[in-house]
Amino acid sequence: MSSSLSLFFRAVLAVLLMIAFYALAIGLVAALLYIPYAEWKHLGRIHRRTGVACIVGAGVIIYALFPRRDRFVAPGPLLTAKEHPELFDVIARVAADMGQRMPAEVYLVSDLTAGVAQRGGIMGLGSRRVMFIGLALLRVLNVSEFRSVLAHEFGHFHGGDIMLGPWVYKTRAAVERMLSTLEDNLPEKKNRVYTMLVLLQKPFRFYAWGFLRITRAIARREVLAADRLSAEVAGADMRVDSLRLTYCCDLVFDEYWSNEATPPVSIGYRPPLAEGFRRFMAAPAVARRAARLLKMEMDEPSADPPHTHPPLRRRIAAVEQVPEKAIPLDERPAIALLNDVDEMEVRLIGHLLADEEAARELTPVSWDEVGEKAWIPIWGERVEPYRDALAGATPATILELFRDLDAFATRLRQCDRQHLPDEVRLDQAVSLLGTAVSLALREKGCRVSMLPGEDVVFERDGESIKPFALLDQLADNALTGDTWRQQCRAFGIADVPLGAVSAVRREIVFP
């Protein structure tokens, strides 16, 4: 009964918020048009500039009021029960436990997420259910943890959040469209039309502020309710574990995707994406950083995060209040529910590139081979524009460059003509030197290992060196120049001209 009342009041509030927005907009249009009318009726004249400003302002609001057609764009390849029966069996079991219908469509996406939405229809009416499942999510969770995530998403259907979502979304989109239209139509010259459009933004900005505060507060309560439902169906312990794990992984996923997964694809190689993320999360440095950030969030959560999800500590506290019950544990990796992971990764990359044929032409490569096959040519491309800045420098003389990094950064600026912030330019200088030293090591016959989340390591005859890590220590004065030069001599690179190092060159296939 209480759940029905909650849904009813949220539905009423969603409708009232939309009515309030349109009432505000129509009221402003009426007021703007009334000004020249009243001036004509009572004074027998219309002030030309004021009249034009009022009519233009009313016209802009009317134009912004008309809704735009929302076209659903598939976020990834479509998953089917025929191709992935085990996955759909788990989804169906959770849906049955939640008393919910199966989603009409399930899509695979690249990131660490799971979500539900309504596709098609008008304001959620006549629409069908759509679910999104992240490839990375499947790789880091076991099946029991994955069930708790699915239960949370079905909890949004159970609470009516997804049906109400289109009303909130449409209103938010209308407010954003109104503000954008008023901004885009500002004349270059500051005249009365300019002043009128600036003034008209103020009530809509005030409305947007209040609208976001109200809807965010509602959304956070909806998230907590979905968490509790998930704990009741899939187990409180599993929900806590999945919340902690997905929070940690989400903190570093963009780093993995940008720095580890994307570069090899950009020059024509395809490493196993899901397996790469598992290895990335298992890397000691990444695991320590994620654990530290998790502890910070649990100890001192943000008081009022600017998004629709409550702080993690509050979500876990709400779940821990749900009585635990005995539920069979399935510790298989959730990725096992997906048939032919390699094929699905090809389709996913094809979707991201908007060209599945191009994705199929990528050369499969293991993570043990990525350093040799992908990163050496990538480093060669990165060094190429800065050969003049590196002229005369050798690994043994790098310490002199570190003593005056500002001067070296200026030389880099002369090569690329980019006006980067000083701190960014200095980081670039250190990174470029590490890249050039790495190419020098490769020229001397060292073999590179670059596993996800790990330091770059060069090996030869049982000896190893980590050039980027050592140069970071050298820049921070944590390593002496003598130690660095000794390492350079040991690997035979002390006198290699960094401005002349080379790499196997390949045409960059994807930008």
Q: Among the residues of 454-503, which ranges form H helices?
A: 467-475, 481-490
194 and 333 within one domain? no
The C-alpha angle 488, 492, 497, rounded to 5 degrees, equals 80
84 in the Ramachandran plot: left (φ > 0), alpha (ψ -120 to 50) or beta? beta
Output the 3-class SS for 430-454.
HHHHHHHHHHHHHHCCCEEECCCCC
User: Do residues 256 and 120 both lie within one domain?
Assistant: yes
86 and 63 in one domain?
A: no
In this prediction, residue 63 carries a pLDDT of 80
d(CA 39, CA 45): 6
Q: What is the pLDDT of residue 509?
A: 37
The pLDDT of residue 201 is 82
Q: Quick one: pLDDT at residue 47?
A: 74
Q: Which two tokens stand for residue 93?
A: 């079991």
Q: Which of 317, 350, 383 is the last residue of a domain?
A: 350
DSSP string, 138-184: HHHSBHHHHHHHHHHHHHHHHTTHHHHHHHHHHHHHHHHHHHHHHHH
Q: Which of helix, strand or coil describes residue 250?
A: helix
Same domain, 44 and 99: no
* 359 within a domain of the structure (yes/no): no
106 and 28 share a domain?
Answer: no
Q: What is the DSSP string of 395-420?
A: GGGHHHHHHTHHHHHHHHHHHH----
In a domain, 268, yes or no: yes
Number of domains in the chain: 3
Dist CA 475 CA 404 (whole Å): 11
Q: CA-to-CA distance for 108 and 135, rounded, in angstroms?
A: 6
| Residues 233 and 323: beta-carbon distance below 8 Å | no
Asked whether the beta carbons of 93 and 117 are under 8 A apart, the reply is: no
**Structure tokens belonging to residue 471:** 């140069």
Rounded CA-CA distance 153/226 in Å is 7
Strand, helix or coil at 505? coil
382/374 Cα distance (integer angstroms)? 13
First to last CA, the chain: 55
Secondary structure class of 217 (helix, strand, coil)? helix
The pTM of this model reads 0.78
Amino acid 288: pLDDT? 93
Per-10-residue mean pLDDT, the chain, length 511: 49 70 84 81 74 81 72 87 96 89 92 78 62 94 94 74 53 73 77 79 79 72 83 88 90 92 93 95 93 86 60 87 83 94 96 92 95 91 89 88 82 81 81 92 92 94 92 86 91 91 49 33
Token pair for 482: 């003598």
Residues 240, 378, single domain; the answer is no
362 inside domain = no
Give residue 168's pLDDT.
Answer: 59
Q: DSSP readout, 324-364?
A: P-------SBGGGGSS-HHHHHHHHHHHHHT-HHHHHTSEE
Question: Distances in Å between the alpha carbon of 290 and those of 59, 244, 383?
Answer: 51, 10, 32
For residue 104, what are the contacts with CB-CB under 8 A and spacing of at least 6?
Answer: 119, 128, 129, 130
Q: Residue 283: inside a domain, yes or no? A: yes
Residue 304 confidence (pLDDT): 52
Please give the Cα distance from 471 to 443 (Å, whole number): 19
Question: Which residue range(s) make up the domain with 451?
Answer: 367-500
Nearest partner of 266 among 366, 373, 418, judged by Cα: 373
Nearest C-alpha neighbor of 223 from the set 300, 152, 119:
152
pLDDT at 335: 96
Task: Please report whether residue 116 resides in a domain.
Answer: yes
The per-residue pLDDT for 342 is: 95
CA–CA distances in Å: residue 506 to residues 349, 375, 394: 20, 11, 25
| Domain-embedded: residue 450 | yes
pLDDT at residue number 3: 47
What pLDDT does residue 417 have?
78
Q: Backbone dihedral region of 309: left (phi > 0), alpha (psi from -120 to 50 degrees) or beta?
A: beta
Q: Which of 491, 471, 496 is nearest to 481 (CA)?
A: 471
Contact status, residue 52 vs residue 187, Cβ threshold 8 Å = no
Residues 372, 317 share a domain: no
Residues 420 and 346 placed together within one structural domain of the fold: no
Residues sharing a CB contact under 8 Å with residue 217, sequence separation 6 or more, in sequence order: none
Sheet with 105-109, strands from edge to edge, namely 78-79, 105-109, 128-134, 114-119
Distance from C-alpha of 273 to C-alpha of 282, rounded to nearest angstrom: 14
In sequence order, what are the residues at sequence separation of 6 or more whose Cβ sits closer than 8 angstroms to the Cβ of residue 49? Answer: 191, 192
Closest by Cα among 221, 218, 291, 287 to 256:
287
pLDDT in the model for residue 162: 45
Mark whether 243 and 375 lie in a shared domain. no
Residue 184 belongs to some domain of the structure: yes
Residues 58, 87 share a domain = no
Q: Which helix (H) or strand (E) holds 22?
A: helix 2-43
- Examine the domain organization and report whether 41 and 66 are in the same domain: yes
Does 190 reside within a domain?
yes
Q: Which secondary structure element, helix H or strand E, spans residue 390, and what is its range?
A: helix 387-390
- Per residue, what are the HEC states of 267-281? CCEECCHHHHHHHHH
- pLDDT at residue 442 in the model: 92
Identify whether residues 67 and 84 lie together within a single domain.
Answer: no
Report strand pairing: 457-460 vs 447-449.
antiparallel
